[in-house]
Chains A and B, each alone.
Chain A
Amino acid sequence: MRLYTKLTLFAVATTIVVLGLFVWQLPFLMQKIASGNTNKNLAQQREKVLNAIRENGIGYYFQGDSAYGSYSMLKDEYISLESYYSGADLTRLQTAERIIDGDTINYRILIDTFTIQAHTYLLEIGKKITSIQEESVALQRATIGVLIVLTLIMALVQLFYTRHLLKPLGSIIRNRLIKKTFPFPDSQPPLLTSTYDFRYLDQSISQLMQQVNHAFEKEKEFTSNASHELMTPISIMQSKIENMLTDPELPAGVVLKLEDTMRIMKRLKKIVNALLLISRIENEQYNRNDTVIAKPMIREVLEELQHRADEKTLVVEERLTDGVQLHHVNRDLLFQLFYNLIHNAIRYNRPNGRITLSDRYVNGEYVLCIEDTGIGIEEPQHERIFDRFKKSTAQREGFGLGLSIVKSIADYQRIRISLNSDAGRGSQFELHFSAAHLAP
C-alpha cells in the first residue's frame, strides 16, 4: 500500500473512531442538555406564572374553585394551582405521570409552593417528556449529519494534502533511484521542496551516489594501472622463454617444460588482456561511430571458429537477414561480442549439437539470437554469469571473463542482452539493437 494511502486511511480511521465515540455518547449528552434546558424553562415559566398571579390576584384564577388547571390542546404543557394545607415545603423537580383529560402522560414537573395572604398554594408546571425527547432526537440527527459531511471533507483534504506533501518522495525515487545507469551523472540539481526530511534524504542519496562513483573510479583506475604494470614483466618473461626455446642444444625435456611455462604465461596474459579490455571499455576509450553489417561479421566470426564447431560436429545454422546495418557501434568490440557468444555456444555445446543464429524485428528493435543445444545455465545463475571470474560449476574451462566482456561491450554500445536458458536445455542469448542502432 502506498504511504499516502496509509496516512489518509489512518487519519480517516482515527476521525471515525472519535466520531463513533461521540455519536455513541450523543443521546446521553442530548438528554442531559434537553433536560437541563427543560428545567431552566420550567423555572422561567414559574416566574411568569407567579408574576401573573401577583398582577391579576389569585382569585382571578380560582374563580371560587379550590383548584385551577390549564393545558394546551396537545397537552404538551399543563399548569395546576391548588390550595395547600400541609406546612411542608414541596419545592422540587420530578418526572411523573399525570392524568389529563383521561390521558396518562409522562411529564417533567416543577412543583412549588407559594403563600399569598397567609394562604399557601401548590403550583405544578409540567412539560411532556416525549416532546422533550423528540427535540433531542432531531438535534442528534442534525448533529450526526453535519459531522458526516465534516468527516468527508476532512478525509478529502487529508488525501490531497498528504499526496502533495509526499510528492518529493516520488520524485526522489523517480529521478534518483529508478532507471539509473551506472556510473551516475556527477551533479544533479537538488530537489525543490520545503520539507526538510526530503531535502535531507535527497542530499544523502546524492552523496551516496558520489561515493559509489568515486569507488568505481578507483576500481577502474586500479584495474587499468595494474594491467599496464603487469604487461611489462609478462613481456620480459615471455621474451626470455622464447629466446631460450630457440637454442637447438636444449634437451627435449626442458623444451617441454618451457612450453608449459609459456602456456601458463599465455593464460596470465589473456586474463590481463581481458581486464585491460574491460577497463578500456569502462573508460570509454572506444569510439561508437562504426557501421557494421550484421551478417558478414557473423560469417567472419563463424569462419574463425569453424574448426572448433567441426571438431564437435556441430550443425551451424545461420539464418540472418541480408544487409542489416548496425550504426553507432564499434567494429572491434562488436566482433569480440559475437565471437565470445558464438565461442561459448560451441564450447558448451554437446557433440553433434546445433547452433542457430537467427534474427527478427520486434517493436522496432532488431533482435539477433544465438541459440545452442549445450549444457544450459540454471535459472539462479542467470544474474551471475556476467560477473567477473564467476562461472557455473558445470563450466570448467575459461576464466570467467568471457561473458563479463560480453556484458561490458553490450552495455557500452547500449545493446540489451537477454538470456533464456535452463540447465540441460541449451541457452539462447538475444542481442537487442534499439531503433537508435538502426538509424544512421
Chain B
Amino acid sequence: MRVLIVEDEHSLATEIEAALQKSHFLCDRAHTAKEALDRTDTGSYDFILLDIGLPDKDGFWLLQEIRKDHTETVIIMLTARGEVEDRIRGLDMGADDYLAKPFSLLELQSRMQAIIRRKFKLHDQQLKLGAFTIHVKNRTIHYEDIEISLSRKEFDLLNYLLLHKNRPLSRMQLSDHLWGDNADDEYDSNYIDVHIKNIRKKLNVYADTEWLETIRGIGYKIRTDA
C-alpha cells in the first residue's frame, strides 16, 4: 500500500512515516501543496494523509484538486483545527475520514485498517481467535455455535487488540481508544484490567484464552500465528 503524507511539519511527517513503515506501508512525503500535486500527478496512492494547514495553499483546495483525478484514493484529513464545520466541509469535499491533531498514531493506523477492511470487504470476514470466531461486522464472538455475550466496551477492546494483533498495547492506548477524549488518566487505564478480566472469565468457560497475553508492566496483546 502506498501512502502520501502531506504535512508541513517535517518532524511530524517523519514520525507518521516511521510508524506506517513499520506496518509495511510505502510512504512518500510532501510538505507543500505544490509538492503534493507533483507527487499525485506522477504516482498513484492508496492513501493520502492531508494536513489542512499548508503554507502555500489551502488544504481544502488541494483536497478538491486531488479528488478530480483520484477518485479511488482514500484521503484522510489531518488538522489542528477540529472545528465541526471543517470536518463536515472536508467530508463533503470527498475526504474519507478526519483526524484532529493531536491524534495518536495507533488511532491513525486503526482508521486506515478499518478503511482497508471496508474497501476490500474484509469486514465481513470471520476471524479465528484460538477456538473462538469473531465476526467484526456483526460485533459477535462465537464458540462453535454458542454466542458469547460481551459488553460494548469489552467487544471494542478485543476488536482493537485484534486490529493491532501481535503488538503490545498499553493500558493507556487502550483506554484512549475506548473513551477517547473523555478518558480519565489513571482511572480508566486501570479499568482496562477489569475489562480484560471479564473477557477472560466469559471466554474461559468454553476454551482457554492463551492468545490474549498480558505484557507485564505495559498492557496486553493478541498473539496470532496467522
Residues of A within 8 A of B (CB): 228, 231-232, 234-236, 238-240, 242-243, 245-246, 252, 255-256, 259, 262-263, 266-267, 269-270, 273, 276, 280, 285-287, 303-304, 307-308, 311, 332, 339, 343
A132–B130 Cα gap in the complex (Å)?
A: 134
Find out whether the CB atom of A255 lies under 8 angstroms from the CB atom of B185: no
Judged by a CB distance under 8 angstroms, whether B11 is at the interface is: yes
The 8 Å CB contact of B217, one of A240, A252, A303, A304, is A252
B118 beta carbon closer than 8 Å to chain A: no
Name B136-182 residues within 8 Å CB distance of A. Answer: 152-153, 167, 170, 172, 176, 179, 181-182
A156 to B172, CA, bound (A): 79
Question: Which of A232, A252, A287: most chain B Cβ within 10 A?
Answer: A232
Q: How far is the CA of A303 from the CA of B101 in the complex (A)?
A: 27
A245 to B225, CA, bound (A): 22
Decide if B6 is an interface residue (CB 8 Å cutoff): no
Alpha-carbon gap, A155 to B144, bound state (A):
101
Q: How far is the CA of A231 from the CA of B85 in the complex (A)?
A: 19
B103 touches A (CB below 8 Å)? yes
Closest 10 CB pairs of A and B: A239-B15, A235-B102, A231-B80, A234-B102, A235-B101, A242-B105, A231-B101, A236-B12, A236-B11, A243-B18
A-B interface pairs (CB < 8 A), number: 89
A276 touches B82 (CB 8 A): yes
List chain B residues, Cβ under 8 A from A273.
181
Contact A255 B217 (CB under 8 A): yes
16 contacts between A and B (CB under 8 A): A231-B80, A232-B80, A232-B101, A242-B19, A242-B104, A243-B105, A246-B167, A255-B217, A256-B217, A263-B172, A266-B172, A273-B181, A285-B83, A307-B153, A307-B191, A308-B187
The interface residues of chain A lying within 8 Å CB-to-CB of B15 are: 236, 239-240, 242-243
Residues in B whose Cβ lies below 8 Å from that of A240: 11, 15
If A243-B18, A259-B218, A286-B84 touch, whether A304 touches B179 (CB-CB below 8 Å) is yes
- Residue ID in chain A nearest B22 by CB atoms: A246
Cβ-based interface call for B207 (8 A): no
| Contact status B102-A311, CB under 8 Å | no
- Taking the complex as formed, is B9 at the interface, i.e. its CB lies under 8 A from any CB of chain A? yes
When the two chains form their complex, are residues B191 and A228 in contact, meaning their CB atoms are under 8 A apart? Answer: no
Chain A residues with CB under 8 Å of B80's CB are 228, 231-232, 235
Q: Give residues of chain B (177-198) contacting chain A, Cβ–Cβ below 8 Å.
A: 179, 181-185, 187, 191, 194-195
Cβ contact within 8 Å between B194 and A239: no
A-B contact sample (18 more), CB < 8 A, given A238-B102, A307-B194, A308-B187: A228-B81, A232-B80, A232-B101, A235-B12, A236-B11, A238-B104, A240-B15, A242-B19, A242-B104, A242-B105, A242-B106, A243-B15, A243-B105, A246-B22, A263-B172, A269-B102, A280-B83, A308-B191
Q: How far is it, in angstroms, between the C-alpha of A308 and the C-alpha of B206 when the chains are bound?
A: 29
Task: Chain A residues near B183: list those with CB within 8 A.
Answer: 266
A243, A263, A303, A307: which contacts B19 (Cβ < 8 A)?
A: A243
Nearest CB in chain B to that of A256: its residue: B217
From residue 101 to 137 of chain B, which have CB atoms closer than 8 A to chain A? 101-106
A339 and B103 contact, CB distance less than 8 A? no
Residue B16 at the chain A interface, CB threshold 8 Å: yes
Question: Inside 8 A of B11's CB, which chain A residues have their CB?
Answer: 236, 240
Query: Least Cβ distance of A315 to chain B in Å?
Result: 19
How many Å from the CB of B55 to the closest CB on chain A? 13
A267 to B185, CA, bound (A): 7
Beta-carbon contact of B152 and A303 below 8 Å: yes
Query: A239 touching B16 by the CB < 8 A rule?
Result: yes
Chain B residues with CB under 8 A of A270: 181
Find the A residue at minimum CB distance from B107: A242
Q: Given contacts A236-B9, A266-B172, A266-B176, is CB(A285)–CB(B102) below 8 Å?
A: no
In the complex, which residue of chain A has the Cβ closest to the Cβ of B183? A266
Residue of B at shortest CB range from A303?
B152
Chain B residues closer than 8 Å to A308, beta-carbon distance? 184, 187, 191
**CB closest residue in chain A, given B103:** A235
- B182 cross-chain contacts in A, Cβ below 8 A: 304, 339, 343
Bound CA–CA A420/B183 (angstroms):
28
Kindly supply a per-residue 1/0 record for chain B positions 39-82, scoring 1 wherever the CB is within 8 Å of any chain A CB and 0 otherwise: 00000000000000000000000000000000000000000111
**In the complex the two chains form, what is the Cα distance from A256 to B18 in whole Å?**
22
Is A246 a contact of B19 with CB atoms below 8 Å? yes
CA distance A243 to B18 in the complex (A): 7
Whether the Cβ atoms of B9 and A232 lie closer than 8 Å is yes
CB closest residue in chain B, given A286: B84
Given A231-B101, A242-B104, A259-B218, answer yes or no on A285-B22 (Cβ-Cβ < 8 Å): no
- Chain B nearest Cβ from A277, distance in angstroms: 9
Least CB distance from B199 to A in Å reads 13
A234 and B102 alpha carbons, distance in the complex (Å): 6
- Roughly how many angstroms separate A287 CA and B216 CA in the complex, as a whole number? 46
Q: Which residues of A contact B105 (CB under 8 A)?
A: 238-239, 242-243
Cα A256 to Cα B171 in complex, Å, equals 12
Q: Which residue of B lies closest to A301 (CB)?
A: B182
Nearest Cβ in chain B — how far from A309, in angstroms? 12
Report the nearest A residue to B175, measured CB to CB. A266
Contacts of A286 in B (CB 8 A): 84
How far does the Cβ of A336 sit from chain B's closest Cβ, in whole Å?
A: 9
Question: Is there an interface contact between B85 and A266, defined as CB atoms closer than 8 Å?
Answer: no
> A255-B217, A269-B102 are known contacts. Are A245 and B153 too (CB-CB below 8 A)?
no
Q: Are A285's CB and B181's CB within 8 A?
A: no
Cα separation A231 to B181 with both chains bound (whole Å): 14
| A259, B172: Cβ atoms closer than 8 Å | yes
Contacts of B153 in A (CB 8 A): 307
Distance A303 CA – B151 CA, assembled complex (angstroms):
10
Report the nearest B residue to A285, measured CB to CB. B83
Q: Which residue of B lies closest to A336 (CB)?
A: B182
CA distance A245 to B187 in the complex (A): 21
